[in-house]
Amino acid sequence: MQIKSRDADTSAINRFIYIQQGNILCTTDGIWLHSQASEVTVKWLEQPLFVAELDATNIYMQVIEDEISSGLQAHHGRDMMTLLTEAESDLLARALQLSHWLQDHQFCGRCGRATTLHKVDYGMCCEACRHTQYPRISPCIIVVVTGPKGVLLARNTRFPVGRFSALAGFVEAGESVEAAVHREVKEEVGIDIKNLQYIGSQSWSFPHSLMMGYMAEYKAGEIAVDGVEIDEADWFRPDCLPDLPFRFSIARRLVEIGLAKIAK
Ligand SMILES: [Zn+2]
C-alpha cells in the first residue's frame, strides 16, 4: 500500500470501499472493493475520498447513509482483516481510520460550526475560525513480558473466553512511551518489568491507535489483575497456548518473539 497525497494517479483503475457505521459493506459473494462509486453517501463527504494506492489501483472510500443498499451486507472490519492479505488489511485499516475521523469531525471542536473537507490535505476545516482538524492518531503501547515461567499474556474483559493477548494501553498526556509500558503492566497485572526492547509499530484503526510494540523481561511481583480491563492473566509456554490474536497483528508478532525467546 502506498500512502500519498490526495492526488490519485488518474491513469490507474479506481476501486471503492463503502463504510457504514464502522462496518464494511460487501456484496453477498464477499466483494469489498467495489468497481463503482456508490450513489448513496453522506452530505459532508459528497465525493469519494482517496485512501491509498494498492497494486496500481486507486482505492477510495465512501461513508454510506444508514440504509443498507440491497445486495450488500455489513461486516466488522476486524473480522474482515483476519481474512485478507497484509497489504489489504493495512488498506482497510487506513480506510476505517479515515472514516472514524470524518464522522467525528463534522463540526469544529473550537467554535462548533460545520466543517468541510480541505481541498488538498486530509483535514476538516472550519471557515469561521480557521481551525483544521487532522486525522486523530492515539499512541498506545503493547508489550509481551517474558519470564522464567513463560510469556505473560492477558485476557481483556472484552475478549471472548479463551483469547489471550499482549498487554496494551494508551500513552497518557505528558508521559514517555517507556513510562507508559512500565505503568500499564504494573496497573493491569501488578508486575514490575525491566530491559524494554522496541520491536516495531502498527496502525490499529479501532478507532485510531498507533500501537508501539515492546518486549520486556520480568523483574518482580506476582500476577494480580486489575479486574477492570483485565479479567485473567497467566504465564504461557509453547506447548500450552491459548487462542492468540490474528496473524498480521503486532500483538501476534510480539507473542511469537516471546515464545522464540523462552525456547532458547
Ligand atoms: Zn471553528
pLDDT tens for each residue of 235-255: 999 999 999 988 888 999 999
Distance 134 CA to ligand 1 centre (A): 14
Per DSSP, the residues of 208-229 read TEEEEEEEEEEEE------SSS
Alpha-carbon torsion 151, 83, 160, 229, what sign? positive
Distance 186 CA to ligand 1 centre (A): 41
99 and 2 share a domain?
Answer: yes
According to DSSP, the residues that pair with 72 across neighbouring strands are 27
pLDDT band at 132 (very low <50, low <70, confident <90, very high): very high
pLDDT tens for each residue of 151-165: 999 999 988 889 999
Distance CA 102, CA 31 (A): 24
152 and 87 share a domain?
Answer: no
Taking 90 as the threshold, does the pLDDT of residue 134 lie above it?
yes
Q: Tally the domains of the chain.
A: 3
Distance 100 CA to ligand 1 centre (A): 20
Comparing 52-66, 140-154, 212-226, the range with the smallest average pLDDT is 52-66
Please report which helix (H) or strand (E) contains residue 86, including its range.
Answer: helix 86-104
126 and 143 share a domain?
Answer: no
Q: Which of 118, 135, 152 is the last residue of a domain?
A: 135
Taking 80 as the threshold, does the pLDDT of residue 6 lie above it?
no
255 and 215 share a domain?
Answer: yes
Q: Looking at residue 148, which CATH number applies to its domain?
A: 3.90.79.10
pLDDT tens for each residue of 84-116: 888 998 899 999 999 999 989 999 999 999 999
66 and 166 share a domain?
Answer: no
Distance 1 CA to ligand 1 centre (A): 34
Q: What's the average model confidence in pLDDT over 13-19?
A: 92
Distance 110 CA to ligand 1 centre (A): 5
Distance 119 CA to ligand 1 centre (A): 17
Q: Looking at residue 77, which CATH number applies to its domain?
A: 3.90.79
Distance 128 CA to ligand 1 centre (A): 5
Q: What angle do CA 58, 62, 65 make, to 5 degrees?
A: 165
95 and 114 share a domain?
Answer: no
pLDDT band at 3 (very low <50, low <70, confident <90, very high): low
Distance 46 CA to ligand 1 centre (A): 21
Mean pLDDT (the chain) is 91
pLDDT tens for each residue of 204-232: 887 889 999 999 999 999 999 988 889 99
Query: What letter represents residue 81's amino acid?
Result: M
Distance 118 CA to ligand 1 centre (A): 14
Taking 80 as the threshold, does the pLDDT of residue 186 lie above it?
yes
Name the residue range of residue 34's domain.
1-104
161 and 256 share a domain?
Answer: yes
Distance 38 CA to ligand 1 centre (A): 30
